[in-house]
Amino acid sequence: MVIELLQYNFVVNALLAAFFASISCGIIGTYIVTRRMVFLSGGITHASFGGIGIGYFLGFNPIFSAAIFSILSALGIEFLSKQTEVREDSAIGILWSFGMAIGIIFITITPGYVPNLMTYLFGSILTVSKLDVWLMFGLSLLIILIFSAFYRLILFVSYDQEFARTHKIAVNLVNYLLISLVALTIVLNIKVVGIIMVISLLTIPQSIANLFTRNFRNIIIASVVLSFVGVFTGLIFSYKLNIPSGASIIFSLVIYFVFAKLIHLLINKLSIRRKTKNFELIK
């Protein structure tokens, strides 16, 4: 069945998008989960809708305008929460609602036919173009290069920013760089699972990996693999059941999380039982 599907260009584009989405979301998602920035990422995700609306209104590719809008929103949240008295959750809430409002206003006042927003809200990996694939490839390559070159700095900033500052690391600069990468990752993966569910691709695989390891590098590797498996499984479900690809991808990842959690609980139970037996033998 897979070989037959590969005869279609849109399927090849979808698989390539799945592969590059797995790399970008696997790496960036590990940083998000480690820094406990899930709510922040959700704010950036919904704020990107403002950029999509502006793109439609001005008549150019909404992904480019969403990328610019999301990066500015991410930097704005980072600046407001660190340099002013505005709390981070308040800044996120303000820009989250502002982005959604801007998007709705500009799409409403756009002359002519109102575009179908389902692709951006819920994703449609089967509609990704060659340009989308190339953009995702470029993003994945950029993320790999940055994380390879500055791995130790990112590791310090992810786990202990105060410790990083004592070693004269430019923590604020690293934060601004990484939050910009988070915004780009969110925007370029909107076509895969959509605005509403992209945060799941950035957190579920990492949460599964985190059940079995605390090593940052191992979480990244496992997250990339789990992301691709989840996206591929979701595509199969979508094809077989004729349901939206974004929803089926997230559903697949949640099922994997449930199985992983059950396995983790079983392992812990067996470990406790083994320790109890060893303690009884010692007595």
Query: Under a CB-based contact definition with an 8 Å cutoff, are residues 204 and 27 in contact?
Result: no
pTM of this structure: 0.83
DSSP character for 214?
-
DSSP per-residue letters across 151-212: HHHHHHHHH-HHHHHHTT--HHHHHHHHHHHHHHHHHHTHHHH-TTTHHHHTTHHHHHHHTT
Domains and CATH numbers, the chain: 2-282 (1.10.3470.10)
User: According to the per-residue pLDDT averaged within each range, which of 50-59, 108-117, 236-245 is highest?
Assistant: 50-59
Quote the radius of gyration of the chain (alpha carbons, Å). 20
Grouping H, G, I as helix, E, B as strand and the rest as coil, residue 60 is coil
Task: Provide the 10 A C-beta neighbour count for residue 15.
Answer: 19
CA 115, CA 225: separation in Å to the nearest integer? 34
More confident residue, 193 or 256: 256
Query: Under a CB-based contact definition with an 8 Å cutoff, are residues 124 and 238 in contact?
Result: no
Listed range (115-119, 126-130, 201-205, 218-222) with the worst mean pLDDT: 115-119
Mean pLDDT of 195-223: 87
Element (H, E) at 57: helix 38-58
Query: Under a CB-based contact definition with an 8 Å cutoff, are residues 106 and 165 in contact?
Result: no
Q: Cα–Cα distances in Å, from 170 out to 150, 161, 165?
A: 12, 10, 7
What is the percent of the chain with per-residue pLDDT over 90, rounded to a whole number?
Answer: 13
